[in-house]
Copies of this chain bind each other. A is one copy, B any other.
Amino acid sequence: MASAKTNKARPATAQWLRSSNDISQQFLAFGGRADVVSLAGGLPAAELYPVADVEAAARSAIARHGSTIMEYGPVEGLPALRQLIAARVAAETGGNFTAANVLLTTGSMQALDLIGKVLVDPGELIVAQAPTYLGALDAWRPRAPSYLPLDWTLQDPGFDAALEKAKFVYSVPNYSNPTGVLVSQERRVALLDKVLAAGTWLVEDDPYLSIQLDGSPGPSILSHSVARSTSPGPYDGPVIYLGTVSKSLVPGLRVGWVVAEAGMIQNLALTKMASDLSGSLLTQAIALELMERDFDHEHSSAIVPVYRERRDALLREAALRLSDWFEWEVPVGGMFVWMRSKDSAIDTDALYKFAVEEKVAYVPSSVFDFTGENRFAMRVNFTRSSPEVIAEGVRRLARAVEHYRSARQQLEGAA
């Protein structure tokens, strides 16, 4: 009797979770197998992590701050790091930024979660660059938003009206995830103008800034927003800018930041307090030690040539083996090549099964798509593995494509 009661079904999970999937975890699990070549993740090269520098920074951070960084933090984060970030942004943009414009987060991912909580009620509209970073879609799923794709050409006549209804626009102008595209300065300015006219927010997610493979990307939308302002006072523009040390130092510190007008920072901070009380001042103080001596820039300069070589190895092998079926642009920064099936001949969801058999992982386009329509591209990473392993991965991908095509021809023959 007690046992029967024990087995009574417990309450169901919330609606959003029932419609969710664990695709990220699946990719991480499969991609982490030793015999698999993973071109799936968005991970830095682990062998380049500056372990000794982090260790030295941990020692000096604890010597410098002592028990202060053993505490719950101010929810906004370590004041000195917020000041450093504000000073950098002020120097880069010419704007008036102080610590009041900066919130430290658990990577940029937490910033996305907080933005969704602060701004979105169920059914409300997000205009998002499409295809869209999977993590952003995941972060906002509990808020049950609706979506409209951001067309960077800004030619759609209905777009301005839609923008008036949007809670915010989501964009990754530098080497976007998943497409690797660098958005032109003209398009940045044109979008900003429309955002200002519509009176909405503009999230500029910039995790890949430090991975500049072929020259500088030029000013951020935040910079343009500063230039647009007629007020000399504190920044009060619509851009909510997201940065991180995950690519320029190490992801394991889990240090990211939001730069925005002070009222938005207050709302995000209040929401962060309700999410985890505060981040770790210890890891923030380690980031401070390294960023104070510009080690993040120095380290980025060291890893960029390595990533460039890996990108080139990927593209060379792909030109040989995948160009009959896929096409792509050469990414000038970031971590990804976006391979589109020519004439939509290959369904990359269906292909995945064959890739698993060949022990190679990529990310199919469907997971980046809030419309669920795009099943004809794949995101291929080039930062995680050596040129040799990447080339082997491409060869496995090519075999997977051939098996996929044979299997489909057999099916069509049978039909």
Contact = CB atoms under 8 A, between A and B. Distances in A.
A217 interface: no
Contact of A282 (B199, B252, B279): B252
Given A10-B201, A14-B119, A253 B274 contact: no
A6 B230 contact: yes
The 5 closest A-B pairs by CB, nearest first: A8-B199, A138-B274, A70-B250, A106-B276, A49-B70
Residue of A20, A237, A270 with highest tally of chain B CB at under 10 A: A270
B119 A230 contact: no
Interface string A187-219: 000000000111111000000000000000000
A233 to B, nearest CB: 12
A410 interface: no
A9 B275 CA distance: 27
A9 B11 CA distance: 41
Contact of A70 (B196, B201, B251): B251
A118 B6 CA distance: 21
Contacts of A229: 6
Contact of A280 (B28, B72, B228, B283): B283
Contact of A139 (B10, B166, B274, B283): B274
A360 interface: no
B252 A69 contact: yes
A2 interface: yes
Contacts of A200: 10-11
Interface in A233-249: 237-238, 246
Interface string A264-285: 0011011101111111111100
Interface string A358-392: 00000000000000000000000000000000000
A279 B106 contact: yes
A117 interface: yes
A51 interface: yes
Indicate how many identical chains form the complex: 2
Contacts of A75: 25, 28
A274 B113 contact: yes
A17 to B, nearest CB: 6
Nearest to A280: B254
B168 A11 contact: yes
A6 B62 contact: no
A271 to B, nearest CB: 7
A266 to B, nearest CB: 8
Contacts of A155: none
Contacts of A118: 13-14, 17
A73 interface: yes
Given A55-B62, A118-B17, A230-B2, A274 B142 contact: yes
Residue of A25, A168, A275, A278 with highest tally of chain B CB at under 10 A: A275
Interface in A126-182: 135, 138-139, 141-143, 166-168
A17 B201 contact: no
28 contacts: A2-B196, A2-B228, A5-B197, A6-B228, A8-B199, A10-B199, A11-B166, A13-B118, A14-B120, A20-B270, A22-B266, A24-B273, A25-B75, A25-B273, A46-B67, A49-B70, A51-B67, A51-B70, A55-B58, A55-B63, A59-B59, A72-B252, A110-B276, A113-B274, A113-B275, A139-B275, A141-B274, A280-B283
A54 interface: yes
A305 interface: no
A282 B382 CA distance: 26
Interface in A267-309: 267, 269-271, 273-283
Contacts of A11: 119, 166-168, 199-201
Nearest to A108: B277
A199 B196 CA distance: 52
Contacts of A71: 43, 46, 49, 250-252
